[in-house]
Structure 1
C-alpha cells in the first residue's frame, strides 16, 4: 500500500479475541505489502549470501594466477553489490511502509473507538493506559509487522545456504544444518523472563503516564494548595521505577544478545579450525576454505534477525493484547441496528424519556434537573445521550418513541449533544474551536454572546501577535487567537463558557448540559441563563444544575435524588412544597414536616 493512501478510508473491523488474533488480522490486511518486502529482502539476503562464493572464486583465481578469472570475479562482485544496494533500499522502503500502514490502521481503530465510547472509555480504562496504547504499543505492533518480512527472508536465506553447503561441502553443511537450530533455540528459555520484565516495564510506564496526565490536568489546583513538590516527588518516584524496570529488561535482552553473538562465534571458530585442517591436508582448496568461512560468517546476520523477531514478538504480543482489549470495548446496550432506522428529523422533535429514572423532558422545553449528587447527575446526563455508563441493566432512553440504542451512534449523537461538567477544549484558534458540525442556525458570534464570552474574547485578543499587537483589544479579531492545550491558559469559568458557546453553535435538537455555569460568578450566571433560554427557544434543552438562577428561568424543574424522579414542577412551587428539593437547592437542612412530598414518579 502506498503511503499516499493513508489514512485508510476504512480501517476495518479487527479481530479482538486475543492479541495473537489481532496481529494475524493486521497481517491479513497487509499481505501484498509483506510479500513485496519479503521479495526485496530475499533478493538482498540471497545476494549477500553469494558474496562469499565470489570472494572465494577471486582468491582461488589469485592463487592460480588467472587474471581473466580475477576480472570475472571482480565484475560479478560489482554487479552483486549493485543488486545488494538496490534491494536493501527498496526492502527498507517496503518494510517501513508496512510499519506505518499498520500503525496508522491501529491508531485509526483506537480513535474510532474513543469517538464511539466517549467519556465511557476512561471509566473502563485508565487515561494513562489509553495514552500508552495509542503511542508506545502502536509503535511496538508496527515494529513486529515491519520485522516479519525480514525474518521470513532470513529463514529462506538460511535454508538456501545450508542446502548449498551440503552440496558444496557435505561435512561442513551437515555441521551447519545441525548447529543452526541449536543456536537459534539456545535463547528460547530466556524469552519468558524477558517478556515478564518487559510487561513490568510497560505497566510501570503506563502508571507514570497516568500520574503525569493527572498532575498536569490539576496543576492549577496543585499550585493553589502548594502541592507541586508532593506530586513532583511522586512522579519522580514513578519515573525511577520505570527506569529500574527498563534497566532490568535491558539486562535480560543484553544477555540474549550476548548469547546470540558468543555461540555462533564459537561455532565459527570451530568450523574454521576444521576447514584449515581440510585445506592443509589438500582435501579442499584455499578458495573453498574462504567460501565456507564467508558463508558461515554470513549466517550471523540471519541469527541476529532471529533475535530481533523474538524481541519484536515478545513486545508486540503484549501490546497487541492491550490494544485488542481497548478495541473490544462496546457500549453495554449496543445491539444490532434494526432495518429502516428513521432519520434524525423523524424522531428528534419528540419527548426525551429515560425509563430508568422516570425522567420525561417535553419536546421544545427548557427543563432543569436537580439531582443533589454530582455523580448521579453525570451518569444520568450521559445516559440521556445514549452513552449508557450504568451498564446493561439501564434501559435505553427514548427520543420521540425511538430507543437511542436502536439507532447508529452517529445518529444518536446528532440528535442529542451532551456537554459534561468538565468539557475539553482542543488546542488551536478560537475559530477552529467553533468550527464544528452544526445546523447553521446559530452563528459563532451569537453563541459567544449567549455564553457571556466578551471578557474571554478580550483576553484572547490581547494574545494576538504581529501588527495587531499594538491595537486596542476591541479592534482585534479574537477568532484568530490560539488556545493552549485544553485551554489551560484560561480560568475555569472562561473555559466553561467557551465550551458552552461551542455546544450552542452546534444547535442540536436536544442539548444536555451538566453544570454549565458551576465555575462562574452569580452575575455572569444570571446573564448566561437568560441568553441560554433565549437562544434555545423552541429547542429541547436539559440543564443539570442546583443554581436558583437557572432553576428560576426553567419552564419545568425535575427533582431526581437517588437516580429516580420524585417531583416535578416550577422552581418556586417546589421550594414551597418539597422539603428534599428545598434542602438541595438552598443547601440548608430542612427538618420541618413536609406533607407535600410526592411519591416517586407521581408528578414526572
Structure 2
C-alpha cells in the first residue's frame, strides 16, 4: 500500500494477545512493502559491500600497472556508486512508507476501538494511556516495523562482505569473519538492562504528565485554596525523577554506542596489524590488505543498523504491549475475539427496556425517571442501559430491549436503538449546524429540539458573538468544547443534539443539573412532549423532572425497590423522599409520625404540581 491509498478500507483484526504478537501481525500485514524495502536495501548495501572489492582491484591494477584492471575498477566503482545512490533513495522512500502505513493502521485500529467502546473505554483504561498509545507509542511501533527491512538488508551486506573476503583474501578474511559475530552480539547482554531503564523512564514521564494534566485541570480550584505551590512542588519532584531516569537510560545507551565504536576500531587495528605481517611475509598482496581494511571500515555502516534494531525493539515492545492491551478490550466479556456467536436480530419497535442487574423496567413508549441516591451508581446504570457494562460488570446479565440482549446486537444496530447522554457531554468545535449534523431519524427537526431544550438564549448569545454577516444562529461557531458558553448553555445544546437524533430509546443522565428551576420545568415539559410515544429514561433527582415522568423507579443499593408516580412515591416511600428532598433523619421521623408536608408555592408560568418537593429540599 502507498501513502496515497491511506486510510485502510479495513485495518483488519489485530492479534492483540501480546506486544510481540501485535508487532508480528503488523509486519505480516505489510509483506509487500517490507519486500520492496528489503529489495532496495539489498541494492544499496550490496553496493556498499562491493566497494572494498573495487578498491582492492584498483590497488592491484596500479601495483601491476594493469590498465585493463584499472578500467574494470573504474566501471565497478561507477556501478556500485549508482547502486548505492539509487538504493539509498528508494530504501528511504519505501522505509518511510512502511513507517507511515504501520502508524496509520495502528491509529485506525485505536480509533475503531474507541468508537466501539465509547465512554466505557476511559473507565477501563486511563485516558492518558489512550492518548500516549495513539501518539508516542504509534511512532515507536512504526519505527520498529520500518527498521526490520533495513536491518535484514544490512545483515545480508555484512554476511556478503565476510564471505567475499573469505573468497578474495582467505588469510585475512578469517580474522574478519571471526570478529564480526563478536561485534554484532557484543551489546546483547546490555539490552535487557537498557530496556528496563527506558521503561522506567517512560513510566515516570507518564506519571509526571498525568500530574501536570490534573494540576492544570484543577488550577482554578488550587488557586482558590492556595494549593498551587504544593502541587508545583510535587511536579518538580516528579520532573526530577524523570530527569534522573532519563540520564540513567542515556548512560546505558551511550555505553552500547561506545561498544559499537570501540570493538570495530579494535577489529580494524587487528586487521591492519595482522595484514601488514602477512604482506611482509609475502602471504598477502597489498591490494588484498587494502580491500580487507576497506571492508572493515565499510562494515561499520551496516553494523549501526544492528544497534538501531535493538533500540527500536526495546522502545516498541512496551508501546506495542500498551496498544495490544487497548485493542484487546471488548464490549462485553462474552464478546472477545474469536467468538462464534451469531448476532441477534433487532427487536421490534416499542419494546420494554429491562436491566436484570437492578430489576429496572422502562416500559416501551413511556417516560421513565430513575432516582439513585448514589450519583456514581447512576452513571454506571446509564452505561449499562446503553449496552456497555463497565467496572467488571460484564458478568451481569445483559440489558434487554424488547427481550433481545443489547450486547448481542451488532454495534451499529445497538447504537441506533439506544442513545446515552452522560453527565458531561462534549461539544466539538464548529458551527451549530455541524453540531446537529448527526445520524437521526429525521422526525425531529433541529428547531424543535432546540425549542424543547429551551435554547433560545443560547442562539441569541451565539449570534451576538458571531462575525459580521452571520445572520442565522445555525451558522454561528462554537469554540472548542463550548468554552465560550456557560455550563447550562452547553448542557442544553447537548440535550437538543440528543433529542434531534430521535432514537428508539433515549437515556439521559442528569440532563438539567446546570440550569435554573424555571428553565428546568420547561425543559421537562419539552422532553415529555417531544418524546411522546418513544422510550425515554432520565436519571435525575429533581422533582421538576420526576413529576413529568409517566413512571418513576427508585434504585436503592443497586436494586429497583419501588416504582410509581412521583407523588405516590413522595407519600408512601421514605427512602425516595429522603433522596428527592434531602431529608434528615429527624425530618423522616416527623413525616412518618404523620406531620403534614409544607405547602408548595406557585411559580409564574409553571404548574404547582411540577414543584412538588421543592420546598422540602430548600
Residue 481 of structure 1 corresponds to: 477
Deviations 1:201-228 (A, max 9, x none): 1212222333344344445544555554
Alignment of 1:121-520 (within 5 A): 121-219=121-219, 221-222=221-222, 225=225, 227-335=227-335, 336=339, 338-339=341-342, 341-343=344-346, 346-389=347-390, 390-465=392-467, 467-468=468-469, 475=471, 477-484=473-480, 486-520=481-515
Q: Aligned pairs, how many?
A: 587
Residue 599 of structure 1 corresponds to: none
Residue 184 of structure 1 deviates from its aligned partner by 1.4
Residue 538, structure 1, aligned to residue 505, structure 2: no
Cα gap change, 1:259 to 1:375, in 2 (>3 Å): same
Deviations 1:504-538 (A, max 9, x none): 12111100000111112222222222222222121
Task: Give the match's secondary structure for 1:496.
Answer: helix
Task: Give the match's secondary structure for 1:566.
Answer: strand
Cα gap change, 1:224 to 1:523, in 2 (>3 Å): farther
Residue 281 of structure 1 deviates from its aligned partner by 4.0
Residue 559, structure 1, aligned to residue 559, structure 2: no
> Which moves more between the two structures, 388-397 or 228-237?
228-237
Residue 99 of structure 2 corresponds to: 99
TM-score by length of 2: 0.90
In 1, Cα distance between equivalents of 2:461 and 2:64: 88
In 2, Cα distance between equivalents of 1:594 and 1:290: 105
Task: Give the match's secondary structure for 2:77.
Answer: helix
Cα gap change, 1:63 to 1:460, in 2 (>3 Å): farther
In 2, Cα distance between equivalents of 1:60 and 1:309: 37
Residue 19, structure 1, aligned to residue 14, structure 2: no
Deviations 1:167-213 (A, max 9, x none): 11112211112111111111111111111111111212222333344
In 2, Cα distance between equivalents of 1:461 and 1:261: 67
Residue 324 of structure 1 deviates from its aligned partner by 1.2
Contact 1:337/1:408 (<8 A) preserved:
no
Contact 2:49/2:160 (<8 A) preserved:
no
> Which moves more between the two structures, 412-421 or 486-495?
486-495
Task: Give the match's secondary structure for 1:15.
Answer: coil
Deviations 1:543-596 (A, max 9, x none): 000011111211111111111111111112211111111111111221246599
Cα gap change, 1:586 to 1:152, in 2 (>3 Å): same
Structure 1, unaligned stretches of length 5 or more?
Answer: 597-604
Runs of 4+ in 1 over 6 A off after TM superposition: none
Cα gap change, 1:413 to 1:228, in 2 (>3 Å): farther
Residue 602 of structure 1 corresponds to: none
Task: Give the match's secondary structure for 1:543.
Answer: strand
Cα gap change, 1:499 to 1:274, in 2 (>3 Å): same
Structure 2, unaligned stretches of length 5 or more?
Answer: 595-618
Contact 1:456/1:494 (<8 A) preserved:
yes
Task: Give the match's secondary structure for 1:560.
Answer: strand
Task: Give the match's secondary structure for 2:388.
Answer: coil
Contact 1:452/1:528 (<8 A) preserved:
yes
